[in-house]
Chains A and B, each alone.
Chain A
């Protein structure tokens, strides 16, 4: 799908901006603080009804007054659609083809993947960031997964509450929660394992494009407890139940459950070395881009079309050669992407045709 028209008004510093992105690459360039990232934020808001910069959308309303309005035209397999999002005070209204709709009915017309500094925590941050990465990816393909995840979380909270209240000695009760937790955890485990395997496969080609032929990026699911993970998707439930039983006295002393899907992690290695520990800034940034492109491919396998890619500060930590390889890959894959940079000369260095748009003090100028 492509975003053919993007209009944004009163979102942060932007004023009545209207932009026709290229169906290929669009480079938004300009000095810091001119509104480049806000244009990406506007596109993301149009796709999801949310911002990737703040959970409180009213913070994005222009200082001095709203209403904030973003609108756009999308074309995809389902035809052409006009979308609009208006934020007035704390209220958000969504409209598709002129008719106001609820969030659930609104979503799905425009899919956007965003790569921003916040999202890069997936590699440098704690394991919870990587679990969220997995879970968000799975839920994007199968929304009912959120319920599975909710059940697992709830069973875990209940078991922990029992342990905290000194209930570790009440064997029969603890075991009832073990049983429930193991069943819910097995469902989460199965999904995460399956997604990680698919991601690993989808990642190979983008990773080669980003890193060049010499270096291999691998991704591996590291389930908890490790022993249960080795038991395979079908043996997990039994193995986890045994682990819960043997860890019961330790868990009782701690007052929480020490092992399970809430301790899962995703390991990223470059040539067999843990990127999180040994990766340079450039390698980490490249790996995050590769992960995102892998996710994009999974999305296309599932839905038959590309989502729109939004990459903030595109050339951060990338040398020109690597930035050029990424841009080349996007072009080959026919991905519509909006990229921001503070370097006006970047477009020439990338060697890929792109539409250049200059952003100055909240307005756009074709360049």
Chain B
């Protein structure tokens, strides 16, 4: 037995279910909350309670939104002719941080993986096809992971989309910024060679 009061044990148990949090971390968080003012704890509880009620998937791109379009889709300055396909909402944040992309997104909700029984019907592939077909999309950028599943998904989507849209592109693979050739593994270096470009 843990020797914790049942109310404490309940919170620890719930926190343990979160990714990256083990029992010790969960206990530390709970002890912190026990010392914090009641108002702070109530604010956290209220914020958590709102989460499933208020947060929805954007009806256009399936990024997170609070009812209606997400902040990216509702921004009139964004270029709707370029759509960047990513795996998860977290990837939208990563691309947004770069400030290098001004189009819209499409969140697939995963990648193809027969081992995990994930096929195209489990992803937002039909929605993407509809979007490309009905809208004025000039380019689809496939920004999926460079692992086996991400690349197979990219191949699948590119074949599906090529007849429907003028340009289907993918992110370049090559040297990480600031990298030294000597310390770059040969797989990355080989891909950087394959993707070399003119000055």
Contacts and interface: CB of A to CB of B under 8 A. Distances in A.
A142 B117 CA distance: 34
Contact of B148 (A155, A162, A173): A155
Contact residue range for chain B?
Answer: 20 to 34
A167 B114 contact: yes
Contacts of A161: 114-115
Nearest to A161: B114
Contact of B114 (A147, A158, A175): A158
Given A165-B114, A165-B117, A144 B152 contact: no
Contacts of B114: 158-159, 161-162, 165, 167, 173, 177
Contact of A144 (B115, B151, B185): B185
A184 B148 CA distance: 9
A179 B148 contact: no
Interface centre among A148, A159, A172, A180 (most CB of B within 10 A): A180
Interface in B147-199: 147-149, 151-153, 155-156, 159-160, 185-187, 190
A125 B117 CA distance: 35
Interface string B125-150: 00000000000000000000001110
A144 B156 contact: no
A176 B149 contact: no
Contacts of B153: 176
B187 A180 contact: no
A162 B156 CA distance: 14
A176 B156 contact: yes
Interface in B86-123: 112-115, 117, 119-120
Given A147-B187, A158-B113, A165-B117, A172 B160 contact: yes
A151 interface: yes
B187 A158 contact: no
A154 interface: yes
Contacts of B149: 158
B151 A180 contact: yes
A80 interface: no
A180 B159 contact: no
Contacts of B151: 180, 183
B185 A147 contact: yes
Contact of A180 (B117, B152, B185): B152
A173 B156 contact: yes
B119 to A, nearest CB: 7
Contacts of A144: 185-187
Contact of B156 (A145, A148, A157, A172): A172
B160 to A, nearest CB: 7
Contacts of A167: 114, 119
A157 B114 CA distance: 9
A151 B148 contact: yes
Interface in A239-275: none
A176 B148 contact: no
A158 B148 contact: yes
Interface centre among A145, A147, A179, A183 (most CB of B within 10 A): A179
A154 B190 CA distance: 20
Interface string A169-192: 010110111011001100100000
Nearest to A155: B148
A101 B147 CA distance: 30
Contact of B159 (A147, A155, A176): A176
B185 A158 contact: no
B186 A180 contact: no
A175 B160 CA distance: 12
A158 B152 contact: yes
B131 to A, nearest CB: 19
A180 B148 contact: yes
A271 B8 CA distance: 77
A145 B190 CA distance: 12
A154 B187 contact: no
A77 to B, nearest CB: 19
B160 A154 contact: no
A232 B114 CA distance: 31
Contacts of B112: 158, 173, 176
Given A144-B187, A151-B148, A180-B151, A158 B156 contact: no
B24 to A, nearest CB: 21
A156 to B, nearest CB: 10
A205 B160 CA distance: 55
B185 A157 contact: no
Nearest to B148: A154
B186 to A, nearest CB: 5
A142 B156 CA distance: 32
18 contacts: A142-B186, A144-B186, A151-B147, A154-B148, A155-B148, A158-B114, A165-B117, A167-B114, A167-B119, A172-B159, A173-B112, A173-B114, A173-B120, A175-B159, A176-B112, A180-B152, A183-B151, A187-B190
Given A159-B114, A176-B156, A183-B151, 8 more contacts: A144-B185, A151-B147, A155-B152, A161-B115, A170-B119, A179-B152, A180-B152, A187-B187
Q: Which 6 A-B pairs have the closest CB atoms?
A: A176-B156, A161-B114, A162-B114, A144-B185, A180-B152, A176-B155
